[in-house]
Amino acid sequence: MKAVWISFKQLLQQMASDAMLVIICFAPFLCGAVIYFGIPVIEEIVTGYFGKAEIITPYYLIFDLMMAVLASMLFCFVSAMIVLGEIDDNISGYMFLTPLGKRGYLISRFGIPTLMSMIITMIILSIFSLTEMSFFMIIEIAVLASIIGMLIAFMIVALATNKVEGMAVSKLSGFLIMGAFGPFFLIGNNQYILSILPTFWMAKFAMTGSIIYMAITLFESAFWIFVLLKLFLKKLS
């Protein structure tokens, strides 16, 4: 375990040496503030213009889900970019042969950052949420969002071979967020077109509180993480 923490400290040092990665870590708080203070103002303007009681308010939950996923996604993205840098420098393969081992490397590069992204997501939702969420709901959504963040991190390192490609893949991975819009805007069974995306089931869970949807989100995310992890390890070997 000591080797894992040493490896994680090295990750933090690499992150601190890159100004862009440091800024990305603070970006979720900025986005949360913009949403928290900006969306209600926009709602007041559009409702006044169209003479309606509410227009955007019924969709406030979408913004909360976007904040949650974005916070986890950006933090895990930082970890993924560092891993790609280590692959470029032929470091990752050698670290597998040290006392850290393959499992320790994965924990220090993906496990601990995912846990930290969950904590950050909880903080952001507690401060900037537009809807009233119970403490347990905040925890549950933070857990689901952090797992999806890990999924995106593995997608980046599995499909990209360098940082430039990693940036491109990270932009493409944004389509995962589209699943959260399905339950809100697609009617009837048409919404299940997006059911292949874990964010779809996360949105269903946030809307209903059903533990079944939470379980499906975790299962589907775990499936995709398993597939991408196999691709990543195969690339390193």
Q: What is the pLDDT of residues 36-78, one digit of tens each?
A: 999 999 999 999 888 888 999 999 999 999 999 988 888 888 8
Beta strands in the chain (DSSP E): none
| 185-211 pLDDT per residue, tens | 988 888 899 999 999 999 999 999 999
Instruction: Look up the domain containing 118 and give its range.
Output: 2-236
172-to-42, 77, 165, 223 alpha-carbon distances in Å: 29, 13, 11, 19
Q: Express each pLDDT in 16-41 by its tens digit.
A: 887 877 888 888 899 999 999 999 99
**How many domains, in total, are found in the chain?**
1
Question: Picking from 47-61, 69-83, 84-98, 155-169, which range would have the lowest pLDDT averaged per residue?
Answer: 84-98
DSSP assigned state of 177: G
User: 3-state class of 18 per DSSP?
Assistant: coil
